[in-house]
Amino acid sequence: MAANTIIELKDADIFQREELILGSVEMHVEEGEFVYIIGRVGTGKSSLIKTLNGEIPLVTGTGNVAGYNLNPLRPRDFPMLRRKLGVIFQDFRLLNDRSVMANLEFVLKATGWKQQKQIIDRVSHVLEQVGMEKQMMKMPHRLSGGEQQRVVIARAMLNDPPVILADEPTGNLDPETSEHILGLLQELNRAGKTVLMATHDYTLISKHKARTLVCEGKRLIDATASDGHLDFSQLL
């Protein structure tokens, strides 16, 4: 893996259960890049994200994310890989029986934080970054979809990971809220984070151009032209 490459897949086959979703994937992402992963529902966007975070095992080909080999991903490496990744889910995956503050405290304690004052300070800091510090004692069900997604972004930032994987983070949100969520991800990118965002919101990405990978016909295709627009001829 090149010195500045933070994500790399070589000749990788991505499976969902027994079904091949993406075949012979070649993928290289440099530190500090912002990359869209687009494609229709069922073409492999989420499966690719889950492979990169270790949720789906990589059994064919090779992969490396933030210095960790995905094939094989040793059990002792799994929690360390997760500390290098901030994962943002479309369905939020917040614990509904505890407050926003308690949700984020739970994550820090699960990843080895011990000092309560440091935990509270870190949670307060990331919630302030996403504009949710005034809602920290609310239960998730009392928040709007956009507010819950801001909490999820804060959760992804807790351990200051170098890589953010966002799986359809605006999929359930209205256009204005989607713009705000994308803006938060762009701020993280400008701060030096590598961001991969799976989406099918073509209107959003046409307004905010970045390198774009397309899942199509069981292939992963780099469809970014030299002018930054999508090169749809690559999909023919």
- Higher per-residue confidence, 229 vs 168: 168
**Which residue pairs from 15-19 have beta carbons closer than 8 angstroms and sit at least 24 positions apart in sequence?**
15/47, 15/56, 15/59, 16/44, 16/47, 16/56
User: Edge-to-edge strands of the sheet including 5-16?
Assistant: 19-30, 5-16, 60-65, 68-69
Distance CA 91, CA 212 (A): 23
Distance CA 234, CA 175 (A): 28
Residue 155 has pLDDT above 70, yes or no: yes
Domain 5-92+160-235, CATH class in plain words: alpha beta
pLDDT digits (tens, 9 = 90+) for 40-80: 888 999 999 999 999 999 989 999 999 999 988 888 888 88
Cβ within 8 Å of residue 209, ≥6 positions away: 228, 229
Q: What pLDDT does 73 receive?
A: 87
pLDDT digits (tens, 9 = 90+) for 192-210: 999 999 998 888 888 899 9
Q: What pLDDT does 190 receive?
A: 96
Q: What pLDDT does 229 receive?
A: 59
Residue 172: half-sphere exposure toward Cβ, Cα within 13 Å: 11
What mean pLDDT is predicted for residues 143-172? 94
Residue 97: half-sphere exposure toward Cβ, Cα within 13 Å: 1
Task: Report the mean per-residue pLDDT for the chain.
Answer: 91
What mean pLDDT is predicted for residues 161-186? 93
Cβ within 8 Å of residue 80, ≥6 positions away: 68
Residue 93: half-sphere exposure toward Cβ, Cα within 13 Å: 13
pLDDT digits (tens, 9 = 90+) for 87-110: 998 888 899 999 999 999 999 998
* In the chain, where the domains are located: 5-92+160-235
Q: What pLDDT does 234 receive?
A: 52
pLDDT digits (tens, 9 = 90+) for 112-145: 899 999 999 999 999 999 999 999 999 999 999 9
pLDDT digits (tens, 9 = 90+) for 165-176: 999 999 888 999
Q: What pLDDT does 230 receive?
A: 60
What mean pLDDT is predicted for residues 31-39? 96
| Global pTM value | 0.90
Q: What pLDDT does 83 receive?
A: 87
What mean pLDDT is predicted for residues 12-36? 95
Distance CA 147, CA 153 (A): 10
Distance CA 190, CA 186 (A): 6
Residue 236 has pLDDT above 50, yes or no: no
